[in-house]
Structure 1
Amino acid sequence: MERLAPGGEIEAHRHDDHQIVYAARGVLAISTTAGTWMAPGNRAIWVPAGTIHAHYAHGELELHLVGVPAHRNPLGLTDPTVLAVAPLLRELIMGYTAMPDDDRGAERARLHAVLLDRLRAAPHQPLHLPAPSSPLLRSVCDVLRTDPADGRTLDELGHQVGASSRTLSRLFRSDLGMTFPQWRTQLRLQVALVLLADGASVTTVARQCGWSSPSAFIDVFRRTFGHTPGAHALGS
């Protein structure tokens, strides 16, 4: 178990083994050249062996790490992936990481096996914000990163960067694998997690992230994370 202060980070690195990264407190962000994955307390992130990645802490982060040998890939995943963490899986992760690293006993091996078994059943969560490679698309995404509440249409944003909405819409699908509204919603949800971890109120988060009302924000947040932003703030 590791602790990171708010705003702390672990610089870009890689592991020879796969890794399950779980934050029992705070909100964890993992970044690669392909984008950013965010995990609140009821999510974990699977990081495949050899992936160069950095960790970022939003709020007081309590980090639990579980290694999986590179020759075993129970999930068959080749990219970082956010996974739902049910209460049983959470207790398995917490119990396993509480054991000494040098413990090679049968109990630890059994716990690891059960943990991987439950991990196979964990639903994948679409909490990845892909990073654009197209310069045009990068310009649009940078505008929205600077102000997630910017509610302009793709056509209006296109006028600013010198591209048609048709071109930008095509780039969102081909470069990022999602539509413009989907990407903007993902961005707003990630920013919302950070703001909540920093103690901002639901009303403040809704306003700063561009939702029309706190209730609209609460509805999207609940459908994405399975609980309200108020419950999330209490759990952090």
Structure 2
Amino acid sequence: MRNIPIHVLDATPRSVVAIGSDYPDGFLHPSHTHRRAQLLYGAKGVMKVVTKGGNWIVPPQRAVWIPPQVAHEVLYFGVSTRSLYIEPASIPSTRTDCQVISVSPLLRQLLMESVDVPLEYEEQGRDGALMSLLLHELARATELPFHIPLPIDPRLLSRCQAFLQVPDIHQSPQDWARDLYMSERSFSRLFREQTTMSFGQWRQRACVVLALARLSAGASITRIALDFGYESPAAFSTMFRRILGQSPTAYLDNL
């Protein structure tokens, strides 16, 4: 199935419904929910997924898992997607929260093939086996650190959202504590309680994850490093490697 909304097909009597969709650059799908869980894979382009719990940047050839009934909006940058909509009873036990996951070559080929499977496929035949194998591969996929958690506290949430609009690696916990009229100790405790990360860890994660989208869109490493306040492209590359385990150049080579 291609370019058909899931609400039209939601009642299909199958555990998995696969849909392929194409989106123009900059298309925003406003906040919505699905009764089924969704695996959203971008064959090309970049996606930004936002929920109350945080932001996820999804580079090309990765996927994001969205549990049932989780309100989310998606911003697409020239993306061609393959989506699996999975009945709650068939969700792999490893997939309970929103997360970006790796996509193995086998999972990628299964996703590309799935959208050409008949809607009411023969469950005991070849197409049923394909969908069953998809669920097995989904359960084995590795979570990637592309999540920027967001706090619930309104004051802290507003400050985090402002940072995500204009990231700056030099912003300090002392600055944030002062702006929020808190002691540094109280601020640090609140930040960790709300995000499960220290301020320094969150700041580094946010800068690297936001850089992913810009790298995928063609921005240079030097431009990103300067815009985010790094002392040099080498300093940015070191932080990128520390968070993601590879250099920005290696990341680009794998796209």
Q: CA deviation at 1:169?
A: 0.8
Contact 1:25 1:235 in 2 (8 A): no
Q: 1:178 to 1:22 in 2, by over 3 A?
A: same
Counterparts of 2:105 and 2:239, CA distance in 1: 23
Q: Are residues 1:108 and 2:127 paired?
A: yes
Residue identity over aligned pairs, in percent, reads: 31
Contact 2:59 2:213 in 1 (8 A): no
Find the counterpart in structure 1 of residue 24 from structure 2: 5
Q: CA deviation at 1:160?
A: 2.6
Contact 1:21 1:45 in 2 (8 A): yes
Find the counterpart in structure 2 of residue 72 from structure 1: 90
Which amino acid in the other structure matches residue 55 of structure 1? V
What runs of 5+ residues in structure 2 fail to find an aligned partner?
1-19
Q: 1:223 to 1:150 in 2, by over 3 A?
A: closer
SS across alignment from 2:44? strand
1:199 aligns with one of 212, 215, 218? 218
Q: CA deviation at 1:229?
A: 2.9
Find the counterpart in structure 1 of residue 178 from structure 2: 159
So what's the TM-score if we normalise by structure 1?
Answer: 0.88
Counterparts of 2:67 and 2:49, CA distance in 1: 12
Q: Are residues 1:63 and 2:113 paired?
A: no
Q: 1:225 to 1:102 in 2, by over 3 A?
A: farther
Q: 1:11 to 1:234 in 2, by over 3 A?
A: farther
What runs of 5+ residues in structure 1 fail to find an aligned partner?
none
Contact 1:24 1:41 in 2 (8 A): yes
SS across alignment from 1:30? strand
Counterparts of 2:62 and 2:79, CA distance in 1: 13
Which amino acid in the other structure matches residue 86 of structure 1? S
Contact 1:42 1:86 in 2 (8 A): no
Find the counterpart in structure 1 of residue 63 from structure 2: 44
Q: CA deviation at 1:161?
A: 2.9
1:144 aligns with one of 158, 163, 183? 163
1:92 aligns with one of 104, 107, 110? 110
